[in-house]
Every structure is written in C-alpha cells, then in structure tokens.
C-alpha cells in the first residue's frame, strides 16, 4: 500500500504540473493524497504543518528564493546580464561552453535551489542561441547536479561514505566512470547540437567588464563560501550591491547618478522581482517532506520492496531511485537507502553496492518533481512540466545504466 500511495502522490503532483497549476498547490494536493491514503491522524497532520511552517530551514529557503528572484530581475533589467554575456562571448566565444562552465561552477555552492543562481546567465545565453525555457531548465539542472555523483565535497557523498565506513575519496573514485559518462552525455545531448558562435579572444577590458557586471553574484559567493556568512545575509548584501552596481549614465556627478539609480531600481525592480509562487512552492515541498517523515511511509515502502525477493543488484538500483523520486531531498534519500542496504551488502561488494545505491538515489533526486532546483528553475523560466523532462531524463538515465554496469562488473 505504501508503494501505491507514493506513486499516486507523485502522479497527482506531476499531472498538476503538466496542467500548469502552481507547483505549491500541486505539492499540497500530493500531501492530501498522503494524508488520506497513508492514512494519517489529525494530530500528525497538524504536527507536520507546524514543523514545515516553523522550521528555520523553511523560512530561510523562502527568503532565499525571493531574494534570488529579485537579484536575477535587477541584473536583467539593469542591463548587467547583457554586459556579462557580451563579455563572456568575447572572451570564450562559444555560449555552449559558457553555459556548461557557469552551471558547473555553481554546483560547488551547495544550497537548496542553488541552480537558480546560474539561471539568469543561462537564460540570457540561451536567448543568444534560440533555445526554449525547457532546454534552459535542462541545462541548468543537469550541469549543476551531474557533479554530485563524484564530488567529494558534496554533503550527501560525505554522509554516504560515513555511513558505509569508507573514505569519501574511495566512494568518489568508485563513481568516477559514471561522472565521466554523464558529463560527455550532457554535452552531446544538451549543448553540442546548439550553434557554435566562434572563438573567443582574451581582452583585459572585457574581463574587467565581466567582473564588474557579475560583481553582486561574486560577492554573494565570497561572503557565503569564504567569509561564512549565512546564505540569506549574503544574498541580501548582493541585492543591495546590485541596486548600486553599473549606475545609469549621465552628465551629473557619479554620486548623484548612484542615488538616482538606487531610487529608480527600488521603485521599479524590487516588487516585480519577488516571485511569491516560489515561496508557496517551498511551503508545499516542506509540508510534503514532513508528512513523509511523520507517516513512516518511506520505511514501509522500503520494507515492501526488500521482501519481494528482487535480486540485490536490481533492488540496490530500484529502491534508492524511488526513494529519491519520492522525497526530492538528496541527503534524506541517501541516508534512508544506505541505512537499508549497508547491513545487507556482503563486505566484498560493499563499495560497489554503496556507490550504486548513492548514484541511484542521486538520479532519483535529480529527476524528482519534488526537487527544489527542478521546481524553482522550471518556475523561473516558466517552462512546461512535461517538455522539461525531455531534457532532464536522458543524462541521468544514462548515468544510472552506467552505474549498474560498473556495479555488476565489480561483482555486485
């Protein structure tokens, strides 16, 4: 029954997404499916709602996605993104490489919904080569998350290594063939068919213009990664800097132009940049997550599959994939799946088994309609739900197939 409940909940969310219904409302509808079919008592539902709404992570996430939306809007409307793209095209020449590099660099910034940070640049570059919102979403999601498979600074990989009693380096090395195949597949499927725009040429002036135009984003990253400020605080400072950066041209003094620019941008760019539907999406996702935890449905779902007599190699592929799809949270999917399988895996195939479990959970997470990056990036680009998966599905499935082959070859 637990398997059927999760399938129905995901189906409801997906169908509502296809119908272009706000994803926050879709998540709440999926939550209603869990409440009815799990079933859950009223105190459990109330407890889940209170936990979702009062959880500091929820409030930080809501604030972060709102500020990211404002920051992207200011960068676009102020003309900063045009300068960024023009400078990068002059330096690198090929927008395909720029999109891949920008989204890959942001993969090291491990924050929920972090793919949105690169979205304004991908959007501007995507317009240069004439791709649609679904293609832009696919590039943003895949090139950010493909590195999670074998990047030993990702919290989920560190958690997986700790649970298995292996080093992060060993686990990352085990999955390295999957990463290589994934990156190659991502390039040839998502970027290689796009038109090449020529060769770049180094220019100190172009590089300085690029740094100036992207300064608010660079400051956010530096304050968060290097200085250790909370991400929400770093974003707020980035927004303030974006209000000042690249002031309007004119004959008046620089100070007068800066003041005029700030006043104009505050009046015309703050409120339009607030994407309240993204905040509602956060509430829906967090409520769904709390219901999954409080209902115990994931544990029952896992037990059902384990007792079906499925071969271990298939079980280690299927169950983590489904848990990742159901939760949309990388850390949770990894921890749950490995807690189930580590006691069941023989010592001589422990590392291949853990690696396959981790890859399968990651693929499920990447493709989950509950995945915050998928939700927020799709909403940012106003992409259609069903068409987005045309660009999201191929690369993760190739990676999963590669991981399965590697696991079987290594004795699983």
Q: How many H helices and E strands in the chain?
A: 23, 0
360/313 Cα distance (integer angstroms):
11
Q: What confidence score (pLDDT) does residue 329 get?
A: 80
For the chain, the farthest-separated pair of C-alpha atoms sits apart, in whole angstroms, at 78
Q: Both tokens of residue 107?
A: 């993969």
Q: According to the model, what pLDDT value does residue 363 have?
A: 96
Could you give the CA distance from residue 370 to residue 324 in angstroms, rounded to a whole number?
Answer: 9
**Three-state DSSP class for residue 134:** helix
CA distance 118 to 127: 14
Q: What is the predicted pLDDT for the residue at 1?
A: 60
User: Which residues make Cβ contacts (< 8 Å) with residue 189, sequence separation at least 6?
Assistant: 394, 395
Q: Residue ranges of the chain with pLDDT lower than 50?
A: none
What per-residue confidence (pLDDT) applies to 93?
81
Phi/psi of residue 52, nearest 5 degrees: -65, -40
Question: What is the token pair recorded at 86?
Answer: 């023009």
Residues in the chain: 412
Give this prediction's pTM: 0.76
What pLDDT shows up at residue 196? 77
Comparing C-alpha atoms, which of 197, 215, 198 is closest to residue 207? Answer: 215
pLDDT given at position 306: 64
Q: Where are the domains of the chain?
A: 2-53+277-409, 58-151+181-275
List the beta strands (DSSP E) in 105-258: none
Q: How far apart are CA 293 and CA 249, in angstroms?
A: 54
Element (H, E) at 401: helix 394-409
State how far the Cα of 310 lies from the Cα of 318, in Å rounded to an integer.
10
Closest CA to 288 of 58, 114, 60: 58
Q: pLDDT at position 372, please?
A: 83
């Amino acid at each position: 029954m637990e398997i059927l409940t999760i399938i129905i909940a995901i189906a409801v969310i997906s169908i509502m997404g296809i119908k272009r219904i706000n994803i926050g409302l879709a998540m709440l509808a999926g939550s209603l499916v869990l409440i009815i079919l799990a079933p859950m008592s009223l105190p459990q539902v109330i407890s889940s709602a209170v936990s979702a709404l009062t959880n500091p992570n929820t409030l930080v996430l809501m604030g972060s996605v709102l500020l990211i939306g404002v920051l992207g809007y200011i960068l676009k409307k102020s003309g900063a993104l045009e300068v960024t793209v023009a400078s990068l095209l002059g330096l690198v020449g090929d927008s395909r490489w720029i999109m891949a590099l920008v989204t890959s660099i942001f993969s090291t910034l491990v924050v929920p919904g972090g793919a949105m940070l690169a979205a304004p640049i991908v959007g501007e570059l995507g317009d240069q080569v004439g791709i649609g919102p679904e293609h832009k979403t696919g590039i943003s999601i895949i090139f950010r998350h493909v590195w999670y498979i074998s990047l030993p600074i990702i919290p989920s990989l560190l958690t997986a290594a700790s649970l298995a009693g292996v080093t992060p380096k060993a686990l990352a090395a085990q999955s390295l063939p999957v990463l290589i195949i994934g990156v190659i597949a991502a390039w040839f499927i998502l970027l290689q068919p796009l038109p090449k725009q020529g060769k770049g040429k180094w220019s100190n002036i172009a590089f300085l213009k690029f740094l100036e135009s992207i300064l608010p984003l660079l400051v956010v990253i530096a304050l968060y990664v290097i200085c250790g400020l909370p991400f929400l605080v770093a974003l707020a400072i980035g927004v303030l800097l974006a209000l000042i950066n690249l002031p309007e041209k004119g004959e008046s003094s620089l100070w007068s132009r800066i003041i005029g620019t700030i006043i104009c941008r505050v009046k015309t760019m703050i409120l339009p940049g607030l994407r309240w539907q993204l905040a509602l999406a956060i509430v829906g996702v967090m409520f769904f997550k709390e219901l999954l935890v409080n209902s115990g449905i994931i544990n029952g779902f896992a037990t059902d599959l384990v007792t079906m007599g499925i071969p271990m190699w298939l079980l280690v592929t299927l169950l983590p994939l489904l848990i990742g799809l159901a939760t949309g949270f990388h850390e949770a999917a990894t921890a749950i799946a490995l807690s189930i399988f580590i006691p069941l895996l023989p010592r001589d195939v422990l590392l291949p088994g853990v690696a396959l479990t981790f890859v399968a959970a990651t693929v499920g997470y990447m493709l989950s309609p509950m995945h915050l990056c998928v939700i927020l990036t799709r909403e940012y680009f106003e992409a259609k739900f069903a068409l987005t998966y045309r660009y999201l599905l191929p690369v993760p499935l190739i990676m999963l197939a590669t991981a399965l082959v590697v696991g079987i070859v290594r004795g699983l």
